[in-house]
Structure 1
Amino acid sequence: MPEAARRTFLQNSLIAGFALAVKPVAASTIQTDSSGLLVGPVNIGEMPAYRAQPAQAAQALPTIIVIQEIFGVHEHIQDLCRRLARQGYLAIAPELYYRQGDPRQFSDTQLLIKELVSKVPDEQVLADLDQTAQWAAAQGGDPQRLAVTGFCWGGRITWLYAAHQPKVKASVAWYGQLTGQASSSNPLHPVDIAQKIKSPVLGLYAGKDQGISLESIEQMRKTLRLQTQYIVVYDDASHGFNADYRPSYHPAAAQDGWKMMLDWFKRFGI
Structure 2
Amino acid sequence: MTRLTARDFDPQVLQLFDKYVHGQIGRREFIAAAGAGLLATLSPSFAAPLVAADDKRINTRYIEHPSPQGYGTLRGYLALPAKPSGKLPAVLVVHENRGLNPHIEDITRRLALEGFLAFAPDALFPLGGYPGSEDKAREMFGKLNQAKTRADFLAAAQMLDGHEQGNGKIGVVGFCYGGGMANYLATKMPNLDAAVAFYGAQAPAADVPNIRAPLMIHDAENDTRIRNGWPAYETALKEAGKKFEYYVYPGVEHGFNNDTTPRYDEAAAKLAWQRTVDFFRKQLT
Q: Deviations over 1:220-260 (max 9, x none)?
A: 11111335223211121110000000011011110010011
Q: Deviations over 1:89-134 (max 9, x none)?
A: 01000112322454545553xx755x43344344323322232234
Question: Which structure is higher in helix share?
Answer: 2
Match among 57, 60, 83 for residue 39 of structure 1: 60
Is the partner of 1:116 in helix, strand or coil?
helix
Is the partner of 1:138 in helix, strand or coil?
coil
Question: Which position in structure 1 is the counterpart of 2:107?
Answer: 80
Question: Which position in structure 1 is the counterpart of 2:120?
Answer: 93
**Unpaired stretches in structure 1, ≥5 consecutive residues:** 1-19, 179-188
Distance (whole Å) between structure 1 residues aligned to residue 49 and residue 245 of structure 2 = 28
Distance (whole Å) between structure 2 residues aligned to residue 78 and residue 26 of structure 1 = 11
Is the partner of 2:100 in helix, strand or coil?
coil
Is the partner of 1:262 in helix, strand or coil?
helix
Conserved 8 A contact 1:241-1:253: yes
Q: Deviations over 1:198-234 (max 9, x none)?
A: 210111001101532x332222111113352232111
Question: Which position in structure 2 is the counterpart of 1:196?
Answer: 210
Question: Which position in structure 1 is the counterpart of 2:200?
Answer: 176
Deviation at 1:135, TM superposition (A): 3.1
Distance (whole Å) between structure 2 residues aligned to residue 148 and residue 206 of structure 1 = 20
Residues 1-270 of structure 1 correspond to what in structure 2 (within 5 A)? 23=43, 25=45, 29-33=48-52, 34-45=55-66, 46-108=73-135, 113=138, 115-136=139-160, 137-142=162-167, 144-178=168-202, 189-212=203-226, 214-224=227-237, 225-270=240-285
User: Taking structure 2 as the reference length, what is the TM-score of the superposition?
Assistant: 0.74
- The size of the alignment, in residue pairs, is 235
Identity of aligned residues (%): 29
- Worse overlay, 36-45 or 200-209: 36-45
Distance (whole Å) between structure 2 residues aligned to residue 37 and residue 26 of structure 1 = 20
Is the partner of 1:70 in helix, strand or coil?
coil
**Unpaired stretches in structure 2, ≥5 consecutive residues:** 1-39, 67-72
Distance 1:120 1:22, change over 3 A: farther
Distance (whole Å) between structure 1 residues aligned to residue 230 and residue 43 of structure 2 = 30
Distance 1:32 1:104, change over 3 A: same
User: Taking structure 1 as the reference length, what is the TM-score of the superposition?
Assistant: 0.78
Is the partner of 1:132 in helix, strand or coil?
helix
Distance 1:97 1:252, change over 3 A: same
Is the partner of 1:159 in helix, strand or coil?
helix
Deviation at 1:158, TM superposition (A): 0.4
